């Protein structure tokens, strides 16, 4: 009896010990499985940070249109300046008239003989743009104080604006070329520009000067190019 009782007690103690060990192993397993879960949660934090960075980039891009708007404003401002320059180039009222100080006027014969026409060239020497208006106001002889009449059909359709160094031309008729005309020799003559009272002395072309019939003399308007045939008079 004592021996059997002792064996029974040992068996019960052994069973209790086995159950205790199993419980400890189960608790230890649960703790281990929870750590990977925690590690996974920490690992997701950089992902969240990446998302935040991506949103920051989008925000920066969103600021781009505002910067673009500012750039567009600058472009508009520049465009307006360019438009103003272009308008000046087309010869609006904002372009100053050329004066005698702005241009150098020379004369050359055209066709001939007989030399019935000369070409006047007004070249802008001022270094800035100016508008050459109307026609040259010419007086060939001291005995004829009135200006040489202008031919209306030679008037250009748009204002003549000379950039720095650019020329303009005017065709001038001296006579009909007839032997019986009342021609007078001219070695130099006076010229005035539209809107300027300064008298410009122009040397006549040729070693012997030119022959002018005051009753037949005519002048064309200033044009940016000499139009062959269009200004014949």
C-alpha span between 121 and 226 (Å, rounded): 10
Q: Would you give the distance in Å from CA 94 to the centre of its chain?
A: 18
CA 23, 29, 30, 32 dihedral sign is positive
SS3 of residue 52 by DSSP: helix
CA distance 93 to 61: 46
Q: What pLDDT, on the 0 to 100 scale, is given for residue 92?
A: 55
What's the token pair of residue 186? Answer: 């001219």
Measured between alpha carbons, how far is 177 from 45 in angstroms, rounded to an integer?
102
**Cα(first)–Cα(last) distance of the chain, in Å?**
159
| d(C-alpha 8, C-alpha 165), whole Å | 129
Regions of the chain with pLDDT less than 70: 1-93, 228
pLDDT digits (tens, 9 = 90+) for 57-105: 332 233 333 333 323 333 333 233 333 333 334 445 578 999 999 999 9
Is pTM, for the whole model, over 0.75? no
What integer pLDDT is reported at residue 181 of this predicted model?
A: 83
Query: What is the reported pLDDT for 93?
Result: 55
Query: Which are the contacts of 146, defined by CB distance < 8 A and separation ≥ 6?
Result: 139
User: What confidence score (pLDDT) does residue 171 get?
Assistant: 96
Could you give the CA distance from residue 224 to residue 137 in angstroms, rounded to a whole number? 18
């Amino acid at each position: 009896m004592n021996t059997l009782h002792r064996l029974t007690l040992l068996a019960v103690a052994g069973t209790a010990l086995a159950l205790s060990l199993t419980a400890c192993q189960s608790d230890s397993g649960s703790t281990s499985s929870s750590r990977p879960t925690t590690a996974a949660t920490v690992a997701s934090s950089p992902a969240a940070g990446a998302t935040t960075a991506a949103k920051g980039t989008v925000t920066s891009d969103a600021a781009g249109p505002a910067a673009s708007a500012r750039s567009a404003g600058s472009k508009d401002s520049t465009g307006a300046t360019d438009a103003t320059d272009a308008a000046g180039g087309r010869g609006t009222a904002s372009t100053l008239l050329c004066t005698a100080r702005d241009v150098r006027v020379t004369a050359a014969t055209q066709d001939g003989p007989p030399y019935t026409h000369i070409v006047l060239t007004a070249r802008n020497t001022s270094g800035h743009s100016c508008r050459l208006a109307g026609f040259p106001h010419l007086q060939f002889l001291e005995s004829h104080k009135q200006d040489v009449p202008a031919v209306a059909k030679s008037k250009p359709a748009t204002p003549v604006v000379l950039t720095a160094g650019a020329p303009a031309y005017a065709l001038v008729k001296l006579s009909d070329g007839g032997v019986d005309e009342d021609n007078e020799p001219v070695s130099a003559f006076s010229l005035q520009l539209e809107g300027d009272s300064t008298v410009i002395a122009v040397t006549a072309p040729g070693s012997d000067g030119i022959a002018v019939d005051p009753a037949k003399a005519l002048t064309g308007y200033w044009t940016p190019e000499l139009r062959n045939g269009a200004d014949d008079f």
